[in-house]
Structure 1
Amino acid sequence: MNIQFAPVILAGGSGTRFWPRSRRARAKQVLALDGDRTMIQQTLDRLLPLSAMEDVWVITNELLKETISEQLPGVPDAHILSEPSARNTAPACALAAFLLEKRSPDAVIGIFPSDQVVGDVARFTEVVRAGVALAASGDRIVVLGVPPTRPETGFGYIEQGEVMDAASVPCDGIPVRRVKRFTEKPNRERAEEFLATGNYAWNGGIFLWSVRTLVGAIREFCPAMAPLLEKIAAAHGTSQFAEVFAELYPQCESISIDYAVLEPRSAKGELKSEIYCLPADFGWKDLGSWAALHEHQMDIPALTGCGGANVVEAGKSLALEAHRNYVFAPGKAVVLLGVDDLVVVETEDSLLITTRAHSQDVGRVVKALTEAGRHELI
């Protein structure tokens, strides 16, 4: 069966936890954090073996649209949409489905965050291809669950049920399990329990479903949102689109796709919900903080040459009795002496000094700068 696959890249975040490199008009998805290609370029690169360029959609904001258009020149400009206001992931995901409903109702939509890292692209392609086939085979929702490696409290979790027989679901040799329920970010004790059971996966925010399935779910579970998105979709491609989009989209409820669709659908019970989980066993990483970037870059010899588990993106560097530090200071000679677990990030106008343990809190800096009226720094 020839299945049209329409990936939707979510790229509207502000990336505040990567301040000062990340700014409102230069968020982390348009930065090259681990090579020459930016995060969003890498996201598109690994999707193109699965989809035609003209079938790709990007949901972003007005501050980033021009940069994203420059970085993704092959994606049709009409497919790069700037949200008039941030409304979380449910309206963003659903908008693409309503836009495709009339022209390609049988297409499969894939939701892909723009700020993730994949270590094994060949395996990613294999798993997503199997997920697309499964999503196209009925009123089914497919989620990719990341095998957990630690009791992480920063991710949502997916509780998995029975392993599906290959005769009942198309899976191309990829193991498929029913989803019992979704659980939001747990405390440490619960996260340890989840890890011990072996039945839980991290929710990496990658979902697959047919246009019909997603549109139907929005109409069922978000009845106030559906007519707004229908009107926006009807105006797409016309001279009235910008005005209709700006007027109606902010009226959509600000809600995640997990809360809007996945949780109420899973509440029907695993046999009726038709939600399935495939393993995201392809070296998935979420670069959500400077500490996460440090961990990711520990495998790059050029950045760890000074030893001590230090990662230094700078000129010549030297570490003496210093361990597990992350430093970004391009063109500077960096010397680390007797310090551990620091994060130091220098840009043209700012210098951040914190600890790896506090790197998740860097967003507080942006909030404080906003409250202080220092808009030139955000």
Structure 2
Amino acid sequence: MSNAGNAGGVPRFAPVILAGGSGTRFWPRSRRSKAKQVLALDGERTMIQQTVDRLLGVANAGDIWVITNELLHDEIERQLPDLKPTKILSEPAARNTAPACALAAFLLEKTDPDAVIGIFPSDHVVGSTERFAEVVRAGVKLAASGEKIVVLGVPATKAETGYGYIERGVESEEAAAVAGMEVRRVKRFTEKPHKALAEAFVASGNYAWNSGMFLWSARTLAGAIREHSPAMAPLMEKIAAAYGTPEFEKVFAEVYPQCENISIDYAVLEPRSAKGEEASGIYCLPADFCWNDLGCWSALHEHVGNCAPEDLAKKNVFDKTNQPCVDIDSKGNYVYAPGKAVALVGVSDLVVVETDDALLITTRERSQDVGKVVAELKQAGHENLV
């Protein structure tokens, strides 16, 4: 994909990687200064390196932005030497995804309002990079064809309560002709439903998981912020006006923390979808490229285990440096204890993670609750462990 401005009618594509999270559910490996996105959880490359690797199939390195925090900035810059340092920005304060998305939109609107911004979390896994590239290219075309918001919806294969859901409406033949693949209008978004509702969503066949990946032109996103988050817009105007000047760091540090702490879903997507299918301008493309957000240790067990769902409960997964590994009458366990021999005897469905200064023991079923450990440690004043 060419990124030479709008030459030949091809829009510039500017991926924005959101990398400011702390990854508390992957404690004790994930810490504030060594969060999930800069760890190699499933191979040699870290999560953010894998994200950049697949984006380089559809964008130029010089057009990729990263929005992170001060604790991770230097490590991310070290891991991504091909990116422009001026496009790796550290938020002065954590303010969720809406201000981060808005920051990219207002900065790009100044110089190239027709550029298509792609929002990509830094810690997802994609099985087929080829299909990922096809879907993203289609999304860029669609987002560039008017005031359209494009969301990537993952086929919902089970009643997962930890994900947001997208209710897909009617097919849009006009949008499909632009994108070159099936496109559905979006009816509404639902955040993390309870089990019974999630089961009903999956059974209906009209719902997809919200991947957190969105595409829109800088003009469209900035306009949506002005419409739906009017208090945030003038703050972003100030920051964008200072970008590239000696005053930027000062203005950024003073103004950005004044933004509301809110997700892009709540700030823009949900209020926009409330206008109805026809008026919202939100379209859903199928993110059918074997996606996994690796949200907790049990998800990593599933991903690294690489077997049929019905076999996961039987399979033990060990870190590759665990040698030898002995399991006697044990099944469904995940163990990370680098450089150590591991023996499992008569245990099932455990997660055991050891680092130099901490040991986690939980069940796969309760691995979503590991973030609570970090909260407890903070409250007890053990800042060195978070």
**Superposition TM-score, scaled by structure 2 size:** 0.95
1:185 aligns to what SS in structure 2?
Answer: coil
Equivalent of 1:147 in 151, 155, 161: 155
Residue number among 180, 183, 188 corresponding to 1:181 in the alignment: 188
Give 1:248's aligned residue. Answer: 255
Retained in 2: the 8 A contact 1:58–1:81? yes
2:119 is the counterpart of 1:119: no
Q: Quote the residue 1:232 is aligned against.
A: 239
Q: Which runs of 4+ in 1 moved over 2 A?
A: 166-169
Please tell me the residue identity of whatever aligns with 2:165.
Y
Aligned residue pair count: 371
Return the match for 1:208 from 208, 215, 233.
215
Identity %: 68
Q: What amino acid sits opposite 1:246 in the alignment?
A: A
The residue that corresponds to 1:304 in the other structure is none
Instruction: Please point out which of 316, 329, 336 is paired with 1:310.
Output: 316
- Report the Cα distance in structure 1 between the residues aligned to 2:250 and 2:73, rounded to whole angstroms: 17
Mapped partners of 1:343, 1:158: distance in 2: 31
1:326 to partner: Cα distance = 0.2
Distance in 2 of aligned mates of 1:196 and 1:287: 24
Counterpart-to-counterpart distance in 1, 2:163 and 2:300: 16
Partner of 2:5: none
Contact 1:134–1:169 (8 Å) recurs in 2: no
- 2-structure distance, mates of 1:294, 1:260: 33
Deviates more, 1:237-246 or 1:114-123: 237-246
Deviation at 1:315, TM superposition (A): 2.0
Distance 1:167 1:118, change over 3 A: closer
User: Partner amino acid for 2:357?
Assistant: D
Match of 1:358 in 2: 366
Match of 2:382 among 364, 374, 378: 374
The amino acid that maps onto 1:32 is: A
Contact 1:49 1:125 in 2 (8 A): yes
Q: Counterparts of 2:314 and 2:260 in 1: how far apart (Å)?
A: 48
**Structure 2 stretches of 5 or more lacking a match?**
1-8, 308-312
Partner Cα distance (1:362, 1:294) in 2: 15
> 62, 67, 70: which one pairs with 1:54?
62
Report if aligned partners of 1:106, 1:210 keep a CA contact under 8 Å in 2: yes
Residue 214 of structure 1, CA deviation: 0.2
Shift in Å, 1:167: 7.0
Q: CA shift at 1:331, angstroms?
A: 0.8
Amino acid at match of 2:64: V
CA-CA distance at 1:21 after TM superposition: 0.5
TM-score by length of 1: 0.97
Residue 22 (structure 1) aligns with: 30
Structure 1 position 169, deviation (Å): 4.3
Q: Which amino acid aligns with 1:244?
A: V
Query: SS at the partner of 1:368?
Result: helix
- 1:165–1:369: structure 2 CA closer, same or farther, 3 Å change rule? same
Note the alpha carbon deviations across 1:223-247, whole angstroms, 9 max, x for none: 1100101111111111111111111
Aligned to 1:195: 202
Separation of aligned partners in 1, 2:176 and 2:333: 50
Per the alignment, residue 336 of structure 1 pairs with 344
